[in-house]
């Protein structure tokens, strides 16, 4: 199993499913207020980036990752340049190096365009 996603709009059922899944030897995280993701114990976005970085000879401190929800917390916290989306949850914003515009305001593109064009981070809510 790599990942199973579950959309559960019933709040009671979501809470029950979350509790029950946490009893199993798997990782369970929210990727939205109504969406659970379950993965094998050692599978995550960050573990994938670690593997790719090691294989490619990259330094994890040179990697940038964007996130907005619980499922992004590990990667945003552990790469060299973690970026939170303005519409993200507070733990992501606290863990990130800085906060960009929201998903619907092209926050990822704002950062990448500025880095590629000018070689600098855009003038946003830098937290460093």
pLDDT along the chain (128 residues), means of 10: 85 92 90 89 90 94 95 96 95 94 93 85 61
Q: What angle do CA 75, 37, 3 make, to 5 degrees?
A: 85
Ranges of beta strands (E only) in 1-128 are: 3-7, 26-32, 35-40, 64-67, 81-85, 98-100, 125-126
* Residues 6 or more apart whose Cβ sits within 8 Å of residue 15: none
**Both 32 and 50 in a single domain?**
no
What pLDDT sits at residue 128? Answer: 45
Range of the domain at 26: 3-40
**Both 54 and 24 in a single domain?**
no
**Both 65 and 109 in a single domain?**
yes
**Both 36 and 49 in a single domain?**
no
**Both 96 and 120 in a single domain?**
yes
Q: How far apart are CA 83 and CA 20, in angstroms?
A: 31
Q: What angle do CA 9, 10, 15 make, to 5 degrees?
A: 105
């Amino acid at each position: 199993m790599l990942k199973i996603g579950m959309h559960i709009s019933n709040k009671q059922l979501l809470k029950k499913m979350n509790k029950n899944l946490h009893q199993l030897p798997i990782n369970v995280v929210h990727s939205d207020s109504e969406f659970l993701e379950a993965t094998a114990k050692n599978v995550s976005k960050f573990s994938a980036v670690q593997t790719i970085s090691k294989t490619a000879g990259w330094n994890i401190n040179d990697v940038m990752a964007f996130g907005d929800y619980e499922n992004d917390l590990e990667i945003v916290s552990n790469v060299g340049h973690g970026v939170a989306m303005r519409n993200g949850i507070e733990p992501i914003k606290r863990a990130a190096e800085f906060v960009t515009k929201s998903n619907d305001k092209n926050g990822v593109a704002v950062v990448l365009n500025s880095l590629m064009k000018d070689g600098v981070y855009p003038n946003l809510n830098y937290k460093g």
